Amino acid sequence: MSLITELPRATWLIFRMHLAATAASRRALSGLLFAAVPPLLAFLALTASGSGDSGVNVFMYLGVLVLLQVVAPALGVFLGIGAIADETEARTVTYPFTRPIPRASVFLGRWLASLLVLTTLLLASGAGMAAITLRASDPPSMDAVRGLLSATLIAGVLYSLGAAVIGVIFKRGQVIALGYAFAFEVMLANIPGSAQKLSLQYYLRSLFVGSENADWRSLAVFQKSEFLTTADSAERLLATTVILLVIGCVTVTRKQFVLSS
């Protein structure tokens, strides 16, 4: 049977096998608590303000600085890193590769199972925050809600896939992935100048502001930044996703996983 037909079938099999285990894992349960942070902060911010006229500001600031920049990368790393790294730490990484299926299907199936759980958590977090702020007298526009949620879900894809690839290449991949997401990314994404283009956050934000959304322009902290159009940003993010997928599949296929005694 050819790889073209066997890879999707094996990936689907691995995906179904690991979906329930991923959803009930400690990573997912911890992620559920973390995903509740943005809606909770939105509720507290509107309650503390004493007036219901700040919905748009609460949604935009929490959406960009908490949901998109903190929650999505954190959950992406925590769930994505487990695609192969969990098997390595449990010293069972060689077992899946003894089956007569393409090695890449193990990587893809496990990552897709993590991605589905991650997408559910991010969607629930963003929708909860939107539901709270939309009840304010000055709510965010539906275009802003859809744009930010879309950017957040795409962030989940990229950060989880990047963490999964790092977990294949390095033994202590979670430390490296977290360092990238919260040191390298945060630093570059929030300093003025062309260095922002080295971060994923720059392109994720460009997805949102490329449509010239008025709610985004209300954020004074980003008024001096120059962003790409939505189409250009989407093209670069898609290319990044494809490159990461190729690296992950090729690496897991060729790497010899040697367990230390």
What pLDDT score was predicted for residue 158? 96
Number of domains in the chain: 1
C-alpha 132/C-alpha 112 separation (Å) is 30
- The answer to whether residue 208 sits within a structural domain is yes
Mean pLDDT of all residues in 65-90: 83
- The answer to whether residue 259 sits within a structural domain is no
Long-range contacts of range 195-204, CB-CB < 8 Å, 24 or more positions apart? 196/225, 200/155, 200/158, 200/159, 200/237, 200/240, 201/68, 201/69, 202/227, 203/228, 203/233, 203/236, 203/237, 204/68, 204/151, 204/154, 204/155, 204/158, 204/233, 204/237
pLDDT single digits (tens) 114-142: 999 999 999 999 999 999 998 887 888 88
- The answer to whether residue 260 sits within a structural domain is no
Q: How confident is the model at residue 239 (pLDDT cuts 50, 70, 90)?
A: very high
C-alpha 149/C-alpha 146 separation (Å) is 5
pLDDT single digits (tens) 41-77: 999 988 876 655 578 888 888 998 899 999 999 999 9
- The answer to whether residue 202 sits within a structural domain is yes
- The answer to whether residue 9 sits within a structural domain is yes
Q: What is the pTM of this model?
A: 0.89
Q: How confident is the model at residue 243 (pLDDT cuts 50, 70, 90)?
A: very high
In the block, residue with structure tokens 């939107």: 130
- The answer to whether residue 51 sits within a structural domain is yes
Q: Which domain holds residue 189?
A: 3-254
- The answer to whether residue 261 sits within a structural domain is no
Using a pLDDT cut of 90, give the percent of the chain over it: 34
